[in-house]
Amino acid sequence: MKEKLPRQVERGLQDLATEEPEPFHYERTMTRVKAAASNSRRERTMKTLISTAVGFGVVAAIFLALVFIPATYTVTLGSIVTVQLPTLEIPQDEILSATAGIEGVTSSTISMTNDQLQLNFAFNGVEKKEAEKRIRTAMTDLVSDVNSLTMTSDNVTVEAGGNALAALTGGHITINARGMNDEEIEAAIVAELQAHLGAGGSYYVDVNSNESGEMTIQIEATAGPGEDLPEEFQINVEAGDVPSNGQRRVERRIIHETEDE
């Protein structure tokens, strides 16, 4: 079975077989994988109708599902920072103890090359500027001038679909509608939709109260073609105080739903 291979090929195969991932390769990949895996790929249009009685004071939760077209956002998930120090200037155990508690660090390594000591930090949820700042703060007692530390940093970013962004940002919007009339509530919802829908998006908002004080909020929202939007986010309309007897009525009815793959 063994075909004799040239020595260079054997060596090349051996190199491939022993190839190790670059520093933080695993962390970078898994950060992106986690973000992408939470991104459901449903594409649909949903219209939601909410009917609620503001007379009793309610918090109405409106769930909007927007057309999600798999366009992308660049989201910063964390950062990688490398610090270089002259070897022997500071004992390694002191560095380790000073940097052990830096908030947001998911992994760190120390390596030595010639006359340089290299510290690598991977941060989760911290952008590079802030990460550098935290490292400088942690090393204040070790280095006479922390601002002179040689640092290189890089943000770990991911191209995320719109609903991944919603997952990352929580996707929650709260409108405090206490004391507002129908038009004002409508305007507040429109403002939020405008902020979240791109230029090509469209929406329809209607807020109406009847004589008995029952309010109906109707929202339809659709993203423009190619726009990256949260597939689903939530608008809370705080329309008044919850009454002492605790009565509230929140009715949510999906009146239309289509799959749009």
Partner 1 sequence: MDFEQLVKPVYPELLRYARAMAGSVSDGDDLLQTALIKGWRGLKSLRDEAGFKVWMLRILRNTYRSQKRKKWLRNLVSLEAVGDKAADTSLPFEEKEAVRLALQGLPAQQREAVVLFEVLGLSVNEVASVQKASPSAVKSRLSRGRAKLRERYLALTEEETGHEGKIAQAS
| Residues in touch with partner 1 (CB under 8 A) | 1-6, 8-9, 11-13, 15-17, 19-21, 25-26, 29-30, 32-34, 36-37
- For 184, residues 6+ apart whose C-beta sits below 8 A from its C-beta are 177
When the beta carbons of 37 and 242 are compared against partner 1, the nearer one is 37
Bridge partner residues of 105 (DSSP): 123
Around Cβ 46, how many Cβ atoms within 10 Å? 19
- Cα(146)–Cα(138) distance, integer angstroms: 9
Smallest separation (angstroms) from partner 1 to the CB of 27:
10
When the beta carbons of 6 and 101 are compared against partner 1, the nearer one is 6
When the beta carbons of 25 and 129 are compared against partner 1, the nearer one is 25
- Cα(260)–Cα(68) distance, integer angstroms: 9
When the beta carbons of 37 and 100 are compared against partner 1, the nearer one is 37
CA-nearest of 217, 228, 186, 222 to 202 is 222
Smallest separation (angstroms) from partner 1 to the CB of 160:
12
When the beta carbons of 17 and 199 are compared against partner 1, the nearer one is 17
Q: How far apart are the first and last CA of the chain?
A: 49
Smallest separation (angstroms) from partner 1 to the CB of 55:
46
**Helix ranges, the chain (H):** 7-18, 25-37, 92-99, 128-138, 162-169, 182-196
Smallest separation (angstroms) from partner 1 to the CB of 151:
25
Smallest separation (angstroms) from partner 1 to the CB of 3:
4
When the beta carbons of 13 and 88 are compared against partner 1, the nearer one is 13
Do residues 207 and 60 make contact, with C-beta atoms less than 8 angstroms apart? no
Smallest separation (angstroms) from partner 1 to the CB of 20:
6
For residue 13, give the amino acid letter.
L
CA-nearest of 54, 258, 42, 56 to 164 is 42
